[in-house]
Amino acid sequence: MKLRFWGVRGSIACPGPKTVEFGGNTPCLELRFGEKNRLIIIDAGTGIHPLGHRLVWNDIQDGPITTEIFITHTHWDHIIGFPFFRPIYIPGTKLKVYGPITFEDDSLEKIMGDLLRYRYFPVLHGELTANIEYLQLGECKMDLGDGITLKTKYLNHPLLCLGYRFEFNGKVLCTAYDTEPFRNVFSTDTNAADFDPVVRHEGEEAAREENEKLLDFYRDADILIHDCQYTKEEYFSSKIGWGHSFFEHAIDSALKANVKKIVLFHHDPLRTDQELFELEKHCQKHLGNPSDLEILVAKEGMEIVL
Amino acid sequence: MEYHHRLTILDHYIRQLPPFPATVNKVMEICRDVNTSPTDLTKVISLDPVLTGKVMQLVNSAYFGLSREIISPVRAVVMLGMNTVKNLVLGATVMSAFGTSKNFRALNMDMFWKHSLGVGVIAKLIAQKRNIDQKLLEGYFIAGLLHDIGKIPLNSKFSDEYRNILGIPEKKPQPLFISEKQLLGIDHAYVGNLIAKKWKLGEEISDTITYHHAPETYQGVQNDILFTVILSDHFANNSEIGYSGNRYFENIYPEVMRYLGDDTEFSFDNISAFNGEVEQEIENAQIFLKIAG
């Protein structure tokens, strides 16, 4: 299994002199499996634009492009690159787009298709020449063929968002973005008008169990790519409930779940290269020595072979 | 089948209907408030055991495919989040008024539901634009939602006749309620009135259900909500939002436009302007057609 990061940034693309090292594109991850070099893409943030060009230059010589895109959720930063993914304009391209169901129940096809409307873009979805199929997922297990299996799990984000766990040839890759720790959302203030000790207890239990389930989902992964938008200080001062994690939480989760390698991902758009280098050092320090866990901070263009 | 026999059958059917959730107003208010606290939300669910059951059924339906069962609203809020649970509760409440697809033998349930929801949403939007008191807005929604409720027993109990009724406009263009009266001797407004009594719905909703095709005979004091729903019904039919069997609509009673127009110079033109809002509200609620049927 091979991975290449085409976009590692959260929220909004942020090119500029302060993001040259880690990159400014929003999420897009290229996965390649086995001798067939089968392609699976996770998310269609702005990073999918250069990926699309690469595919058209390289892969198309071997025949039409056939691929699957797994959308973690449909917030802008994870889908906005879709209209700029060149293979969708090439006859013969076969594309399956997967994404989570949502409570609003606009279909995935409608949400993605709406990106290609004249008010936003000069081409309509109906004019695309590629063969595109849309499929919506809840929590499930799937056999993707070629020895690849997939498990999905709801994460904790304001919009239903799926984590993906791919298993191939004894290797496991797991994604956990966008997400934050599950927490008790019910009142813990004994003086508050709506305080109820039973509800508080149940809320705390539920959060604990959901966090356990997430650890089970990551368990023994060779690589875990985890949301790390905030520092601990940022998270606890003003970002609780925004659906993103902080560095220490991601690392501690990886340790508890016996993960071998964690990739810290979904960087805040205001985070400069300098700050990310410093945070990398901070994370190593937090981990302490010696440890079996390897920490990487996601960089655009980074490749990993499992 | 004789008229009196039909009445007996309907009476029996309506007596067996489950009660309408008494908390419905509160539920709507809480679910539509962006500042609702998790405690308010779970409390309103827990107050009503039928609603609790329905919400938990939705949470654990195949739709979400959760690997482990969620056993309480508190857990559902922690796991799926406020936004998802709010929408589920709203849907469960709305659907509880309509029962399941087995009641729909002649009419298409999805289209009927969409029409009803559409009329409810439009009625509320009109009321909002007319600066009706915030606290009363959900009443407009519910009156619109339930205005055709009388069609459900007719569909369920006399489905063969109802299919014939739906076919009449092919030969003779006339409003549905007239065909109902001709073939069954009873129309959906009358049946709706029986349900309103059984459910002890307030006068504003009950009168809307009973008089929405006969505003010229109305002697009561609920003109505001009745006329708003009549206008909304016309708008939903003209815009083909869902379908509740009515292909030829009677002309709108002039007093309706005069009354609503006097207030704010309301017209069809400015209703069309919020067509997008209506579609959005309906789309938000459509999930329940898939998982609650």
**B85-106: per-residue pLDDT in tens?**
887 787 777 666 566 666 677 8
Query: What's A128's DSSP letter?
Result: -
Residue type, B74: V
Bridge partners (DSSP) listed for residue A171: A168
Q: What pLDDT was estimated at residue B21? A: 63
Taking contacts as CB-CB distances below 8 angstroms, the residues of chain B near A184 are 78
Taking contacts as CB-CB distances below 8 angstroms, the residues of chain B near A154 are 64, 66, 79-80
Q: Do A194 and B40 touch (CB under 8 A)?
A: yes
Nearest to B39 among A187, A206, A207 (CB): A187
Average pLDDT of A99-104? 79
When the pLDDT of each residue in chain A is averaged and rounded to a whole number, the result is: 95
Quick check: A99 pLDDT over 70?
Answer: yes
Average pLDDT of A99-111? 81
Q: What's the pTM value of the predicted model, to 2 decimals?
A: 0.71
Say whether residue B83 is in contact with chain A using an 8 A CB cutoff.
Answer: yes
User: What are the tens digits of pLDDT across the range A143-182?
Assistant: 999 999 999 999 999 889 999 999 999 999 999 999 999 9
Q: What pLDDT was estimated at residue B291? A: 45
Distance from CA of A28 to the nearest CA of B (A): 25
Q: Is pLDDT larger for residue A223 or for residue A191? A: A223
Q: Is pLDDT larger for residue A258 or for residue B251? A: A258
Q: How many CB pairs under 8 A join A and B?
A: 81
Average pLDDT of B243-267? 78
When the pLDDT of each residue in chain B is averaged and rounded to a whole number, the result is: 82
Taking contacts as CB-CB distances below 8 angstroms, the residues of chain B near A179 are none
CB A227 within 8 A of CB A245: yes
Say whether residue B68 is in contact with chain A using an 8 A CB cutoff.
Answer: yes
Q: Is pLDDT larger for residue A62 or for residue A95? A: A95
Quick check: B41 pLDDT over 60?
Answer: yes
Nearest to B38 among A140, A157, A186 (CB): A186
Q: What pLDDT was estimated at residue A6? A: 98
Q: What pLDDT was estimated at residue B268? A: 61
Taking contacts as CB-CB distances below 8 angstroms, the residues of chain A near B63 are 101, 138
CA distance B26 to B28: 5
Q: Do A138 and B72 touch (CB under 8 A)?
A: no
- Does A87 sit behind a cis peptide bond, omega within 30 degrees of 0 on the bond before it? no
Name which of A73, A74, A105 to mutate to probe chain B: the one with the most chain B Cβ atoms within 10 A of its Cβ: A105
CA distance A191 to B152: 48
Q: Is pLDDT larger for residue B288 or for residue B117? A: B117
Q: What pLDDT was estimated at residue B242? A: 87
Q: Two tokens at A26?
A: 């929003």
Q: How far is CA B52 from CA A74, B41, B76, in A?
A: 29, 11, 11
Q: What pLDDT was estimated at residue B50? A: 72
Say whether residue B82 is in contact with chain A using an 8 A CB cutoff.
Answer: yes
Q: Residues 148..167 of A with a Cβ closer than 8 Å to B: which?
A: 153-154, 156-160
Quick check: A243 pLDDT over 70?
Answer: yes
Distance from CA of A180 to the nearest CA of B (A): 12
Q: Is pLDDT larger for residue A222 or for residue B4? A: A222
Q: What pLDDT was estimated at residue B271? A: 66
Taking contacts as CB-CB distances below 8 angstroms, the residues of chain B near A159 are 83
CA angle A130, A131, A135 (to 5 degrees): 125
Quick check: B292 pLDDT over 50?
Answer: no
CA distance A248 to A291: 15
* Residues in contact with A192: Cβ distance below 8 Å, sequence separation at least 6, in sequence order: none
Quick check: B161 pLDDT over 80?
Answer: yes
Q: Do A206 and B79 touch (CB under 8 A)?
A: yes
Q: What pLDDT was estimated at residue B287? A: 54
Q: What pLDDT was estimated at residue A225? A: 98
Taking contacts as CB-CB distances below 8 angstroms, the residues of chain B near A216 are none
Q: What pLDDT was estimated at residue B105? A: 77
Say whether residue B77 is in contact with chain A using an 8 A CB cutoff.
Answer: yes
Say whether residue B37 is in contact with chain A using an 8 A CB cutoff.
Answer: yes
In 3D, which of B176, B191, B165, B183 has the Cα closest to residue B7?
Answer: B191
Nearest to A105 among B62, B79, B287 (CB): B287
Q: Do A199 and B37 touch (CB under 8 A)?
A: no
Average pLDDT of A234-238? 97
User: What are the tens digits of pLDDT across the range B199-243?
Assistant: 777 888 899 999 999 999 999 999 999 999 999 999 888 888 888
Q: What pLDDT was estimated at residue A4? A: 98
Q: Is pLDDT larger for residue A243 or for residue B47? A: A243
Average pLDDT of B254-272? 71
Lowest mean pLDDT among A100-109, A253-262, B166-175, B275-284: B275-284
Torsions phi, psi of A293, nearest 5? -80, 130
Say whether residue A184 is in contact with chain B using an 8 A CB cutoff.
Answer: yes
Q: Where are the alpha helices (DSSP H) in B147-251?
A: 151-157, 159-167, 176-184, 188-198, 203-211, 223-238
User: What are the CB-based long-range contacts (under 8 Å, 24+) for A57-65?
Assistant: A60/A90, A64/A90, A64/A92, A64/A93, A64/A94, A65/A39, A65/A90, A65/A92, A65/A93, A65/A94, A65/A95
Q: Do B66 and A203 touch (CB under 8 A)?
A: no
Quick check: B283 pLDDT over 70?
Answer: no
Q: Two tokens at A18?
A: 């302060």
Q: What pLDDT was estimated at residue A119? A: 93
Say whether residue B164 is in contact with chain A using an 8 A CB cutoff.
Answer: no
CB A8 within 8 A of CB A296: no
Q: Do A101 and B63 touch (CB under 8 A)?
A: yes
Q: Do A185 and B79 touch (CB under 8 A)?
A: no
Closest chain B CA to residue A106? B283
Q: Residues 93..112 of A with a Cβ closer than 8 Å to B: which?
A: 101, 103-106
